[in-house]
Structure 1
């Protein structure tokens, strides 16, 4: 059955980008042992329905730049599965955005959201618009134009988009403002909003903090180890990476790396987040090479000065590694480097950042490995907390949101770990996550009928 489904997907996939097929293959490989355990899965065609989006929405976005020239971009929303609740998933504004990337992200979102135990389904969307180099007013005009096309497909009980790469609270604010202008509704139709009008405290930190909370619980339960005093490597320099580094440092870890699309910074005394933020936040996207200019003793390695099959961020000795940049950033070459340098755990902060053959090597060599659908679920969790606050017209304080996030990430670890043990694959958190998430979604799909 699994081979037939994959063959049909490959046949229908017209794109050279196979990230969606990679994600589906990983999930179906995990599920194959349990599919025959319940005849209802085949009777209700659960797998076939699960890998097919409910709908793919594509639209044209027309907007004026600062010179009053008409600009055209493509916009998308993929509503993949809403068996557990309203569609939920981020909007990404980046030149790399296309239907196949969004199908992969939306498919992963189904499982990530299921693992939280919260009532939300899976979706993803965005545009090939590049915010880099755009003025404040160009970004605002684009967001307004994007929402004019998107607003008919979303709603507080239909589909609640959030932010992602290129979409922070500023962009969500502009999107929400236009939605309110068009519909005259003041409801929780978007999450990640500015705190001034319905946003939740801790939302910017949620994914990064959640990754570390998951790692802390996994290391404590599996190895009886803590993060205090441990050397950690982190890739990326965006929102997830910055807040992963921040929380690791708060727990006493020594984080020695960060990276961007141009290269890697290594600081043996510990990454200075103040400098990283000066280079990367508030609309600034300066190269991390500027870090080495400011901090004596740090080393910057350009991606052009490192073997093409790997990334310099993973060449340094560490106790735990946190890939927080983008998909397929950690190769087999990198996995070998990490193992040779004593890494005992890899905890994903990005979506599918580790190549399949690298995951296989980690598992074969006994390195603890957590897939992003489990360890980076903190972002969507706090997004759902925001939906709850909006629905009840409440505001939770920072400590309450932080406690709920910590508890939820510990529950996700427990759910994944116990499922792996139940199905005879102890410490295989990929299979544990996929099986646990699938069973919850599949049961809902069966109960609602066809």
Structure 2
């Protein structure tokens, strides 16, 4: 029997056949929300899903900039303003060579539901450029960021669209873009989040996504009467998300034994702890985007070139790098190693067939749109701080972040129970995020 959502999925697969990442997320989310559509025929009648799967606005523009040798380059910049039913568009900017409309639509679509789960007044969007910051000088990155904002600034504002950082965009890049935005608009406002604290940024924002992931993972294990203390953990990446995750895991008594970069992975059976976690910051700031120097600095660690860390036996896996990082063969390795828990730190890091295999073998998966929502939740706190001209301490931020993440887990678990989903947190997160957005869209009419 055909499902209500089938025609919408088929439409996306046909119209956007060249955007596989967008198709993947639409397929996952819409299949999950079929029970909600069955329970609410008014959603179908109002064309709600037609309006949900198309961005409200997609902006594409050229970004000309000059390198240190005086050579001119032209990249393509984007902003996908996907859904503003709950508030101004909120989502990061990604600078990476593989950025194109399909990746940003996937990220923006995920952002709608992630932001909804926080309970805060923020809509979903995403943006970026096919610019590679690796190997560029500070001056080149500054010139690129300024050229990028020369076009994008006209679409931004504290009550319209509020960007933040993402892959390839940290505090340095946000500072350059904020400076150019301020010059062009003559406004010092809350349009940017992920800023340095000297620019009105939020204390604790850098580690917020990683801390939030660990809080969510803790709640997952607690549901089964277990705790993080004493567990072995494998993560991927060594950027802000991986750094914050490793730091909080160490604090809670878990042992990170492996992490990775584009060049391979590090195995450190002594545990990535203390100064070893701090070394992530040096690796990231080097601009080389490799993790092998870790094994040179800490000789007891081993570097495995050209491979992913998912072959390492652990109690918990937390991918913190890129989308579709865990494939079917990786999932098979995890199951063979007795894996019970996977908590997604990166956006959509697990392929559909890998998820299916893990779930068939009773692995509990914490979905990225729930588990990594702590970053955007704290971005919203930063917006509040800027709007009210106040300062939150790190302690204030951590308390609010933990409360938000505990509530997000509860929303996912409650949706599982309400719709008899077993303990499928992926479906639970999709439903809980969708229900809030759908109600707002219905109240606002056909717009």
TM range (shorter): over 0.9
Aligned pairs for 1:127-166 (under 5 A) are: 127-166=129-168
Q: State the alpha-carbon separation in 2 of the partners of residues 427 and 350 from structure 1.
A: 21
Correspondence 1:288 to 2:291? yes
For 2:371, which of 371, 375, 395 is the aligned residue? 375
Aligned pairs for 1:116-135 (under 5 A) are: 116-135=118-137
Correspondence 1:262 to 2:266? no
Q: State the alpha-carbon separation in 1 of the partners of residues 248 and 115 from structure 2.
A: 23
Match of 2:54 in 1: 52
Aligned pairs for 1:377-396 (under 5 A) are: 377-396=373-392
The 3-state SS of whatever aligns with 1:256 is strand
Give yes or no for contact 1:325–1:353 (8 Å, CA) kept in 2.
yes
Q: State the alpha-carbon separation in 2 of the partners of residues 43 and 72 from structure 1.
A: 45
Shift of 1:317: 1.5
Give CA deviations for 1:88-122 in whole Å, capped at 9, x if unaligned. 00000111100000000000000100011110000
The 3-state SS of whatever aligns with 1:245 is helix
Aligned length: 440
Q: State the alpha-carbon separation in 1 of the partners of residues 202 and 356 from structure 2.
A: 38
Correspondence 1:7 to 2:10? yes
Give yes or no for contact 2:135–2:288 (8 Å, CA) kept in 1.
no
Q: State the alpha-carbon separation in 1 of the partners of residues 287 and 17 from structure 2.
A: 36
Aligned pairs for 1:8-407 (under 5 A) are: 8-15=11-18, 17-220=19-222, 222-271=223-272, 272-278=276-282, 280-303=283-306, 306=307, 311=308, 313-407=309-403
Q: State the alpha-carbon separation in 2 of the partners of residues 195 and 295 from structure 1.
A: 32
Q: State the alpha-carbon separation in 1 of the partners of residues 390 and 278 from structure 2.
A: 33
Q: State the alpha-carbon separation in 1 of the partners of residues 179 and 75 from structure 2.
A: 20
Q: State the alpha-carbon separation in 2 of the partners of residues 404 and 200 from structure 1.
A: 13
Q: State the alpha-carbon separation in 2 of the partners of residues 114 and 276 from structure 1.
A: 31
The 3-state SS of whatever aligns with 1:337 is helix
Give CA deviations for 1:143-198 in whole Å, capped at 9, x if unaligned. 11111100100100000000001111111111111111011011101111111121
The 3-state SS of whatever aligns with 1:431 is helix
**Structure 1 unaligned blocks of 5 or more:** none
* RMSD after superposition: 1.1
Q: State the alpha-carbon separation in 2 of the partners of residues 111 and 437 from structure 1.
A: 4
The 3-state SS of whatever aligns with 1:132 is coil
Give yes or no for contact 2:91–2:111 (8 Å, CA) kept in 1.
yes
Shift of 1:411: 0.3
Q: TM-score, normalised by structure 2?
A: 0.96
Q: State the alpha-carbon separation in 2 of the partners of residues 371 and 82 from structure 1.
A: 23
For 2:408, which of 399, 406, 412 is the aligned residue? 412
The 3-state SS of whatever aligns with 2:78 is strand
